[in-house]
Amino acid sequence: MSQQAIGILGGTFDPIHNGHLRLAQEALEQCSLDAIRIIPSGTPPHRNGLHANAQQRLAMAKLAVQDNPAFVLDEREIHRAGPCYTVDTLTELRAELGAQRPLCLLMGGDAFLQLHTWHNWKQLFELAHIAVMQRNGRPLGNAIEQADTSLRDEYRARLAPAPQAVHESPAGSILVLDMPTLEISATAIRNRCAQGGSLRYLVPDAVAHYIQSHHLYTGIC
């Protein structure tokens, strides 16, 4: 493929944190991607009770990516009415970027193991590759044996031998990437905020300042 591959990282980002950013950077380097689209979800179908509103989550994501030219903030889901399904977002991106541009949807291992519950999940493979970040000590190959049968079948049929396979076709492969241990979660960050703890080295400094100045995540414990 002559066209550069684009990574896609979506999420509620409530808030966006260094774990998200490190995942994106690892994928960027391991798959030799040209850029990563960071896409905050507007109304995620799998999540209830968001703590920051859509505009606040968008603002934090914008601050988080401002110093990395390879990270591009994509606002489309924030402005979409109704539930935000990944298949719809990928369909839009495919129409905009062309049929031959390799697209690579990034996700953690836990999310991948629930992929069969996503809306029109098998159609995702027609639109993009899926890169799964496995953490040290938690190999995806072991967990997939306990997964849903249809997901396990797709995994076995589509697993690529190396990350560079993303450049060989526009979509359809599953890539497994190694993610260094970085145990940071949005839930833990929200709890630290409620308890008055420091967010330094958990989120970018600009995001920490935004959370503090807007009094986000206080009183939620």
- What is the rounded CA–CA span in Å between residue 129 and residue 173? 5
Distances, alpha carbon 41 to alpha carbons 69, 107, 126, in Å: 21, 14, 21
Q: pTM for the complete prediction?
A: 0.92
Summarize pLDDT for 138-163 with one digit per residue, the tens. 788 889 999 999 999 999 999 999 99
Nearest in space to 154 (alpha carbons), one of 140, 179, 176, 173: 173
Contact (Cβ atoms closer than 8 angstroms) between residue 195 and residue 158:
no
Q: Which residues in 51-90 are b (16+ Cβ under 10 Å) and which e?
A: bbebebbbbbbbbbbeebeebebbebbbebeeebbbbbbb
- The answer to whether 130 touches 113, Cβ cutoff 8 Å, is no
Domains in the chain, please, with CATH?
6-182 (3.40.50.620)
Token pair 């072991």 in the structure block, residue: 142
Scanning the structure block, which residue is given the tokens 């606040």? 56
pLDDT the model gives residue 179: 85
pLDDT in tens, the chain (221 residues): 457 999 999 999 999 999 999 999 999 999 999 999 999 998 766 656 789 999 999 999 999 999 999 999 999 999 988 888 999 999 999 999 999 999 999 999 999 999 999 999 999 999 999 999 988 767 888 899 999 999 999 999 999 999 999 999 999 999 999 887 777 899 999 999 999 999 999 999 999 999 999 999 986 54
